[in-house]
Amino acid sequence: MRKLIWTLVILVVVGVFGGRVWYLNQHKQIGDNVVKIGGFLPLSGPLARDGVEFLKGLKIAQNQINNDSQYNFKIDLRMEDSKFSATQAVSLFNRLVDSNALISSGTPSTASIAPLLEQHKIPTISLINAEDKTILASSQIFRGWIAARTTASEIGHYIVSEYPEKTVALLRTHSSTDAKEFEEGLLGQLNKIGKQVQATETFAVTDMETNAQVLKLMDKNPDIIVVYGYAQGYIAAINSLIRMGYKGDIITTWDIEMNSSLIPNNASGIYFVTPTYDFSELVKEDKTTNNNFFVAFGYETLRLLAEAMKNGTKPEQIREGLANLKDVETGFGKVSYDERGELYLPPFVLKQMQPDGTAKVVKE
């Protein structure tokens, strides 16, 4: 037994030190004027798929930037696995504290390091953070891409302008701040014409089926059911609506396009609001990235950071650079940041899923 333990210990020590030497060599090859961009993504666990796709996009952008002569720096990307956990994020922050800028993903990770970001003044783009509260938690946090309130506003606006007479119910994830903000955003639009949400039912992101909630909503006979959520609970909610034979309109978020293969008949007939993205630049680099927003989010995030670093790569200069980014051309169209870290995207479009899994623009 002792032999085994000692063999294990020796293997671990050799592995760790060997790995370290290899890691240092890899990073030395990048050369001078290196900007360290650290970050933590969910690379294992239930949200690993998203994290791995983000990473793919980040690496494509890193290669492009490091080979582009218009940038006078090289990016050293150091991404770690956050496991979507607050404790892990704090631990990783202490490893990545010498970074010029950070990239994070998800509420627990980003919110937990907010005080540390404020203390160490490291600008951070939160890759996918649907809620406002996290963005406002530190002056160093900048929104990456989609806000729940904005998405809900777009849906509400569409309902108000196209179907003011129709009744609306809401099916959303429970006990999450972004879902609450989504509901507020939707109500904000509906209230403009004195409209209310007829009924609201909730589900957990880990739910495997939501038939009971769907049947309760269907009892109220709404003309439209708006669905908000993510992960398996979201797919279960859409599947329940179809399986329980709901005949009205379903309007949801861009997540449906990413998950349509998991829904009967490719989610045909379901409406969704979405930003539009020109994937041609990404497809040039990697043919598998078509219609994958997560890769696009990673890719555009690093490009925005590189844009912000043109006038200086110190953390305070990067923060200043991000806050001053206006009308930057991206695959999403022209985007801008404001001083609070809020991102402004071009208006979303309304699309409808088709039986072949594609989506058709219904309203621009």
Partner 1 sequence: MTYVLHQLIMISIYLILVYATNLVTGLGGLMTMAQAAFYGMGAYVYALVALNMPVGFVASCGISLLVAGLVAWILSKVVLRFRGETFVLATLAFQMIVFTILDNWEGVTGGSYGLSEIPRPSLFGWEVSTVPEYVLLSVIVAALITGVFWVMLNSPFGLSVRAVRDNERAAESLRISPQKQLSRAFVISSVLASLAGCLFASYVTYIDPTSFSLTESIFILCILLVGGSGNIIGPFLGVLFMILFPEGLRFLGLPDESAANLREIVYGTILIVLMYYRPNGFKGIYSVK
Tell me the two tokens of residue 38: 């650290």
By three-state DSSP, how is residue 96 classified? coil
- The strand pair at 249-252 and 333-337 is best described as unpaired
**Mask 113-132, x = binds partner 1 (CB under 8 A)?**
xxx---------------x-
Tell me whether residue 22 or residue 215 sits nearer to partner 1 (CB atom).
22
**Mask 195-224, x = binds partner 1 (CB under 8 A)?**
------------------------------
Beta bridge partners of 344: 336
Please list every residue from 40 through 99 that binds partner 1, using CB under 8 A. 43-44, 48, 51-52, 55-56, 59, 79-81, 83-87, 90-91, 94-95, 97
**Residue 47 Cβ vs partner 1, minimum distance, rounded to whole Å:** 11
**Mask 29-48, x = binds partner 1 (CB under 8 A)?**
--------------xx---x
User: What's the rounded Cα separation, in Å, for the pair 159 and 183?
Assistant: 14
First to last CA, the chain: 69
Span near partner 1 by CB under 8 A; candidates 15-23, 244-252, 315-323, 333-341: 15-23
Contact, 253 vs 282, CB < 8 A?
A: no
Tell me the two tokens of residue 337: 């940041």
**Which one of 10, 12, 193, 283 is in contact with partner 1 (CB under 8 A)?**
12
DSSP category for residue 264 = G
Q: Where are the beta strands (DSSP E) in the chain?
A: 34-41, 74-81, 101-104, 124-126, 141-143, 168-173, 197-203, 224-228, 249-252, 271-274, 328-330, 333-337, 343-344, 349-353, 359-363
Placement of tokens 């939707």 in the chain: 186
Tell me whether residue 120 or residue 166 sits nearer to partner 1 (CB atom).
120
DSSP category for residue 237 = H
How many residues in the shown chain lie near partner 1 by CB under 8 A?
50
Span near partner 1 by CB under 8 A; candidates 106-114, 253-261, 296-304, 329-337: 106-114
Please list every residue from 131 through 160 that binds partner 1, using CB under 8 A. 131, 133-134, 137
Span near partner 1 by CB under 8 A; candidates 22-30, 121-129, 278-286, 321-329: 22-30
Beta bridge partners of 101: 37
Q: Is 361 in the site for partner 1 (CB under 8 A)?
A: no
Closest CA to 190 of 165, 160, 220, 170: 160
User: What's the rounded Cα separation, in Å, for the pair 4 and 335?
Assistant: 58
**Which one of 112, 260, 289, 330 is in contact with partner 1 (CB under 8 A)?**
112
Tell me whether residue 95 or residue 363 sits nearer to partner 1 (CB atom).
95
To 5 degrees, how large is the angle CA 238–CA 240–CA 246?
Answer: 90
Applying CB under 8 A, which residues contact partner 1? 1, 4, 8, 12, 15-20, 22-23, 26, 43-44, 48, 51-52, 55-56, 59, 79-81, 83-87, 90-91, 94-95, 97, 107-108, 111-115, 131, 133-134, 137, 174-177, 180
